[in-house]
Structure 1
Amino acid sequence: MNARPAPETAAARQPRRAGGPQPLLLGVRHHGPGSARSVRIALDHHRPPAVLVEGPPEADGLLPLAVEEDMRPPVALLAHVAGDPARAAFWPFAEFSPEWVAIRWAVERKVPVRFIDLPAANSLALQDECGAEREERRCRHGDGEPGEAEQEGQQPSAALRLDPVGALAEAAGYDDPERWWEDAVEHRAGGPAEPGETFAAIGEAMAELRAVHGDGGHDHDPLREAHMRLKLRAALKEFGDGVAVVCGAWHVPALTAPTTATADRQLLKGLPKARAELTWVPWTHRRLARHSGYGAGIHSPGWYGHLYNAPDRPVERWMTKVAGLLRAEDHPVSSAHVIEAVRLAGTLAAMRGRPLAGLVEATDAVRAVMCEGSDVPLALVHERLVVGDALGDVPDSAPAVPLQRDLTRLQRSLRLKPAAEARDVELDLRKDTDAARSRLLHRLRLLRIGWGRQTRSRVGTGTFRETWRLGWEPELSVRVAEAGVWGTTVASAATAKAESDAMAARRLPDVTGLAEDCLLAGLPDALSLVMRVLADRAALDTDVGHLAEALPALVRSARYGDVRGSDAGALAEVATAVAERVFVGLPPAVVGLDADGAAGMRRHLDAVHTAVGLLDRSAAHPHSGPDGQGRSGGSGGTEGSGPAAREPVGPGTPARTGADGGGLRDRWARVLHTLVAGEQVPGPIRGRAARLLLDDERLDHDAAARLMGLVLSPGTPPDRAAAWIEGFVGGGAGGGMLLVHDTRLLALLDAWLTAVPADAFTDVLPLLRRTFSAYEAGVRRTLGELVRRGPTAGGRAHTAATAAGAPGYGPGLDAERASAVRPTVHRLLGLGTDLDKDDHRMAGAVG
């Protein structure tokens, strides 16, 4: 039997430099767990006097932090240009990265360890030059769209770069590079001599590839490798024979190339430089699955982490993990499933000629046995285990901009720990801690640091509730560094950013949005400047659309600023002034609008109506906050309309003024009456104005019926009548229920619809379908039932009197139908079980 070669023999098979001390070259695959184990075994066996690692030399001073207790991978070295953090690059490391294993081995044993790659100062400058070249090429060719490779953030030649692992896998007859690497490296038994043989074999394979493909399309590799050789020569001169070099296997042949130091220095002469700053930042498994600073994205970081931490019986341990996850998600998975899945994975590996079951076999077995052929639970396994949601952590001693330190302090004090997995956080602004969390998230949003995104609350609609979707991405560290130019704390930086944005804003709605953001973020200093800018913009802006678009945000801020303890009195004054200008400018602004302009102005009409109601209520009750439930009112704009302020009036009749001789709602009602009576006002706006008056009880049902009768008369062109109907009973306006409960309006609409000529009906049909298709299914069914039951005579629809004959739709109470729901209503209102005794109480409650 042939004996296994000794480690020294295997190491001697590696490419050697001509003469002088010889290094120990450990060519690895970035983020490869098999390579990581082999590196540790080789270092333990050879005990090199120094370790050289592929990475930016400026980070040498950060290497001791790798063994800090609070340093937990995945982490990354972040390098950015001083004063311009947007120009940045990352060097990520996972627990199973060979470079990380080598760094920790050296630091723990106090062995000198250094980075030898091209300095980050040169790398960042070269990135800028490549970006300028790409931009120049696009301009020269007149091509405004980047190529596929450029969209992925790669260099133009990236799509043509050689993938060494892919080339070796193809030569070995594999169609999947990941599967070949698992079979050739990850599944090899780790013995004391095995690593040397593996590194030697990989080095020889890479030498053959480079003899054929040269640099393989990696344009900057000659520069990087020249710098590596210079660093290697210096280390060999300082430490002697046996210096270990841990780098990508692709670079191993270049490190033994017969070149001189003079030639390497000449190659590096004149390289552009940029002043770079470096630090450690948290990274995620999800980001490891993409291309990074190494260009070595891996598809399954969670699986690779499992292989590194479970070298013995990895398939059995993996199936146990999968079973635990599926059980936690209420999937029926037993121990028998685990045993059967392990057997099936081994059988699949044998049938496919693999030494051990890999991720493909494990996934197929999980799908067949534990997921019963479904890809739905399998997607959960891929998301949680194959990729994983791990987020690293760095110690406080790592260099960081002051803003990052303040943010970290706030995250800890508010118990908002960053996590890679997206999660929802419900905030109750009546609690001090939740209010402080809300202010922090709103301040970060002002700084364009998108840690949180506000979503619709699932608990309630109160103004004291907020729901945020939080998810930390590594790129946010760059955003924090960028925002550091605005201040050293989150509060000061957000204040400076808001003030700068206010001065640079061109549109009035942008400034009003900033005012609302300043209130939400609790920035009173910035709010004072924003208010001055807002007053100036509002005084000069003559566009009614801009004013109407800006008013709702102003009113929301003025109405609900007190829920956060903010003084919004100045906002209320500006909002009142803006509302007055809208009242004056709206009637002439809507005359002669086309269909698109009318649709946009109709949306402004709704927004202004709701805003005026809130603003008028705030003026009448200056010390009142949100109502007892903390809600902002209904969508129909009826909030804040007391009986004294809602006296019904006929069409064209001036509204009754309030006690102050003319409140905002009264003046707004007069504007709506003007729009209703305007012959040149587009139909959707006239119809919507009439509907708002009706909802606000400033137009009674008889007057509304007369208006509809006039509009739907034979003298009105069908297209104009259809446009009025869209505004009056459009789906978003709750018009379906109005027609259900007011059979007179339904009869008028039915009569007009049946009388539209055939040639005109085709023209108005799209508008009518858009109007009625927005109704809920139940409303449409009820309307259809009413129309079906209603008698017609001579082509004329039924009147209210004849409609009263329809069962269940008359003006009186249908006692037989009502008796079926009386017990339920009594229970809901808490009126007891004696129905006859409590009928009068129920009537009073629902009245």
Structure 2
Amino acid sequence: MPTDLRLFGIRHHGPGSAASLRHALDAFRPDMVLLECPADAEAALAAATHPEMVPPVALLVYNPKQHQQASFLPFAEFSPEWQAIQWCHQHSAHLRCFDLPMTLRFGMPDEAPDVAPHPLAPSPKGEEELVLEASSNPIPDTPEQKPELEELEASPPSPSSERGLGGEAQRQEPSLKADPISYLAELDGYADGERWWELRLEHAPGHADTFAVVLDMMTALREELALPETDETLLREAYMRETLRTTLAQSYARVAVVCGAWHAPVLRSELLKKEDKARLKGLKKVPTAATWIPWTFERLSYASGYGAGVLSPAWYELLFKVPRSEVVTHWMVRAARLLRSRDLDASAAHAIEGVRLAETLALVRGRELPGVEELQEAAVAILGGGYAEALQMVQRELVIGERLGAVPPEQPATPLQQDMQLQQKTTRLKPEASAKTLDLDLRKELDLSRSHLLHRLRLLSIPWGEPRRAQGKAGTFHELWELQWQPDYALNVLDAGRWGNTVLSAAAAKAASRAAEAPDLEAVSHLLEEALQADLGPAIGALVARLETLSAVTRDVTHLLAALPPLVNVLRYGNVRRTETAQVATVVHHLVPRLCIGLPQACTGLDYDAARQLLPRIESTHQAIRLLQDEAQEADWYAALAVVLHNAASSGLLAGAAGRLLFDAHQLAPEAAATALGLALAPVQPTDYATAWIEGFLSGSGMLLLHHRPLFDLLNGWLGELPEDTFREIVPLLRRAFTDFSLPERRQLLDLAQQGTQPALAVAEDEFDLERGLRVLPGLRELLGV
């Protein structure tokens, strides 16, 4: 008896396709279902029916010897493939994956695939004829998204590739060659092929007869356009036909093929038998492994840059679950509840009016059911008062969605994955799709362990948490983190497994490896700071040894200046984190004397730009040495700054900054500061040196001038004695010195300048030229930015 074969061409992640497929399978009752999914993932599909498996999830197929070779195959509840798997389990039907296995895909060369005419295609039309034919319909003015009936094979920017079943992750500019569905959409008067497919097919109620129409449509489209195919697509279709032939030879009574609609027309067993065998012969194979990971709606959407996804996963899920007659009401009621939960005005009357407006918009546009566009427009008008900004949360939660799936705990996992899950459970940190702020107090055991875990994961390139600056908190004891779990971190965890079987050992091994390869002292000091924040005891010895080696041979003061602040931070926070820092203290106490010896020479012979780059490092080192609270080392540092201040060969910017640092530390008396300023402003000094000196001396705050009148009078007098042409030339340079002053400081300085003219007029009016004196004020206002 011949096998009864049915082809069900679906759209990946299509709710209408999923509903229609359920009806079709119920009516056909196949003994065998061939599913477009890599053949080497077939064994892992058995776990999809586990009661603890909650979509969205993704099947991760990877090369265990080279983790960069990996592919994610996402499933949502509204994915037709997911429904086919569940149907087979419920009705005891056989399920076979018949797409090209990843063991062959990963063995293919990485260079761009060749594009060739499909062996079944007729002679293609000329390009000019194709363009003329399409021009009779409106062409979209803006780039539109490509539908997922046939996604072109390519890798996204990340090291791994993300594919829908039978589709690949790449977004193309719209054209008839890259986006054949847009061709059909334009014939129907639509500018966007994605929306056309959604409104015509995915919004329709599930019906088994849909697949015959889709098959006829795809057959006509492939014959009409005769598009070239990549070598990989031809390989995939050849492998699917070969598997189909093998299945039909096994005498199943009824066989169903569930595949991307674009492939369906060429999946006939009688086609290209010899060509398929020749094409598949001699292909290179690599080992593969598969496991399930949680996925998110955001990752399933285009918003994340995932090409084989859908625009609105949360909306699609609602379309699949809720009866078609109730879906609009359900969505609008959810939107109103969401706004009320955020204390925004949204009543039942608003929801009713929103439904009416959405249905009216759909009617005006000739649509039977409002789509997500009509729903959003109605929500903005009724619930948002015409302002789209207020409805951002609706877009995020009801259009895209913030769902994170779940997989059974017994899923195959590497030792590092298992340890990380244990650490997450111990620290009570649950991976979540939505962003979450975590405020840690390092004096508490639980918070300290959380901090250690997050820092260790960052060292392993798993940026689950991003540190943020804590405002209004005691910086020594508080850490602020922004947490958001991304599904593709699973690949980072796999890759990190080569460093060790636990989070601690892996992070320590990677830190030691990075230290051995670090090019300079600055890199090692920052790495040591990270390692101590992560409490990587096993790695500290190797890092300190590398630090001592580099510090002994480093003569560049710039590197020493950059290395010291992170090390001082280690000493400062060591007690809070309960880590041993004695070795680090030894290195620091050796570095400071070398810095003090080399600093004066490093500050000479520099132009302004070079001095400007060195200044923040000197300021950071100054703060770090003061944090050490070592009187002897502070005295050495102040002596070095004094040499920079008084050395005529020092950069003007750095000499002025050294004077300011000494003055703030009470190491330079006001009289001495006035003398230094007077020497810098002496007529023998070049004007550019004087302006740079002032910028360095006044950097940070204008309080110095406000509270020390002799300094103000010196600067004011120097400005008044400058020739007008010279003054105009240096105004832009001087403004840099006043850039960081607060507005109140600028106003007080201007008031001080105005007050300075009054006593002179009262004492000896005939000895002063008032008009000439007032000329200074406009320039001073410009200088202060008042």
**TM class, shorter-length:** 0.7 to 0.9
How do 1:37-48 residues align onto structure 2 when only pairs under 5 Å count? 37-48=19-30
Indicate which of 682, 686, 696 corresponds to 1:717: 686
1:720 deviation in Å?
1.0
Cα contact 1:754–1:795 (8 A) shared by 2 = no
Cα contact 1:157–1:217 (8 A) shared by 2 = no
* Aligned counterpart, 1:689: 658
Indicate which of 115, 124, 138 corresponds to 2:97: 115
* Aligned counterpart, 1:125: 107
Count of aligned positions:
715
Cα contact 1:166–1:176 (8 A) shared by 2 = yes
Structure-2 change in CA distance of 1:132 and 1:292 (3 Å): farther
Structure-2 change in CA distance of 1:259 and 1:401 (3 Å): same
Indicate which of 554, 558, 565 corresponds to 1:552: 565
Determine the C-alpha separation between the residues in 2 that align with 1:217 and 1:592.
64
Which deviations, in whole Å up to 9, do the C-alpha atoms of 1:368-395 show, x marking residues without a partner?
1111111201222212221112111211
Counterpart amino acid of 2:197? W
Indicate which of 134, 139, 162 corresponds to 2:178: 162
How do 1:293-692 residues align onto structure 2 when only pairs under 5 Å count? 295-312=307-324, 313-615=326-628, 617=629, 619=630, 663-692=632-661
Counterpart amino acid of 2:243? K
1:214 deviation in Å?
3.4
Which deviations, in whole Å up to 9, do the C-alpha atoms of 1:459-518 show, x marking residues without a partner?
514211111111111221111111111011101101110111111111111111111111
More contact order relative to length (CA 8 Å, sep ≥ 6): 2
Structure-2 change in CA distance of 1:219 and 1:155 (3 Å): farther
Which deviations, in whole Å up to 9, do the C-alpha atoms of 1:708-737 show, x marking residues without a partner?
12222223222111111111112xx2x212
Which deviations, in whole Å up to 9, do the C-alpha atoms of 1:106-156 show, x marking residues without a partner?
1233322121110011122236243899xxxxxxxxxxxxxxx98768899
Determine the C-alpha separation between the residues in 1 that align with 2:521 and 2:763.
49
* Aligned counterpart, 2:772: none
Identity of aligned residues (%): 43
Determine the C-alpha separation between the residues in 2 that align with 1:20 and 1:385.
48
Cα contact 1:93–1:100 (8 A) shared by 2 = yes
Structure-2 change in CA distance of 1:156 and 1:46 (3 Å): closer
1:576 deviation in Å?
1.0
Determine the C-alpha separation between the residues in 1 that align with 2:240 and 2:652.
75
Cα contact 1:164–1:250 (8 A) shared by 2 = no
- The 10-residue stretch of structure 1 (537-546 or 777-786) with the greater mean CA deviation from structure 2: 777-786
Could you state the TM-score of these two structures normalised by the residue count of structure 1? 0.81
Cα contact 1:89–1:293 (8 A) shared by 2 = no
Structure-2 change in CA distance of 1:110 and 1:743 (3 Å): farther
Indicate which of 661, 667, 684 corresponds to 1:698: 667
Secondary structure, counterpart of 1:90 in structure 2:
strand
Cα contact 1:91–1:294 (8 A) shared by 2 = no
Determine the C-alpha separation between the residues in 1 that align with 2:712 and 2:232.
75
1:741 deviation in Å?
2.1
Could you state the TM-score of these two structures normalised by the residue count of structure 2? 0.87
Structure-2 change in CA distance of 1:227 and 1:217 (3 Å): closer
1:94 deviation in Å?
0.9
Determine the C-alpha separation between the residues in 1 that align with 2:526 and 2:309.
40
Cα contact 1:92–1:293 (8 A) shared by 2 = no
Determine the C-alpha separation between the residues in 2 that align with 1:179 and 1:319.
20
How do 1:213-232 residues align onto structure 2 when only pairs under 5 Å count? 213-232=225-244
1:538 deviation in Å?
0.3
1:790 deviation in Å?
2.5
Indicate which of 734, 750, 753 corresponds to 1:768: 734
Which deviations, in whole Å up to 9, do the C-alpha atoms of 1:591-646 show, x marking residues without a partner?
1111121112211211111111122x2x5xxxxxxxxxxxxxxxxxxxxxxxxxxx
Determine the C-alpha separation between the residues in 2 that align with 1:219 and 1:529.
50
Determine the C-alpha separation between the residues in 2 that align with 1:476 and 1:326.
32
Cα contact 1:50–1:239 (8 A) shared by 2 = no
1:295 deviation in Å?
4.9
Which runs of 5 or more structure 1 residues have no equivalent in the other structure? 1-18, 134-148, 620-657, 799-847
Cα contact 1:751–1:795 (8 A) shared by 2 = no
Determine the C-alpha separation between the residues in 2 that align with 1:343 and 1:579.
74
* Aligned counterpart, 1:784: 750
Determine the C-alpha separation between the residues in 1 that align with 2:305 and 2:608.
52
Structure-2 change in CA distance of 1:156 and 1:71 (3 Å): closer
Structure-2 change in CA distance of 1:151 and 1:67 (3 Å): closer
* Aligned counterpart, 1:24: 6
Cα contact 1:62–1:398 (8 A) shared by 2 = no
Structure-2 change in CA distance of 1:40 and 1:261 (3 Å): same
* Aligned counterpart, 1:728: 697
1:525 deviation in Å?
1.3
Cα contact 2:660–2:697 (8 A) shared by 1 = yes
Counterpart amino acid of 1:438? S
Cα contact 1:282–1:393 (8 A) shared by 2 = yes
Which deviations, in whole Å up to 9, do the C-alpha atoms of 1:639-681 show, x marking residues without a partner?
xxxxxxxxxxxxxxxxxxx6xxxx1111111111111110000
Determine the C-alpha separation between the residues in 2 that align with 1:797 and 1:385.
77
Cα contact 1:508–1:541 (8 A) shared by 2 = yes
1:247 deviation in Å?
1.0
* Aligned counterpart, 1:173: 189
Secondary structure, counterpart of 1:126 in structure 2:
coil
Structure-2 change in CA distance of 1:279 and 1:529 (3 Å): same
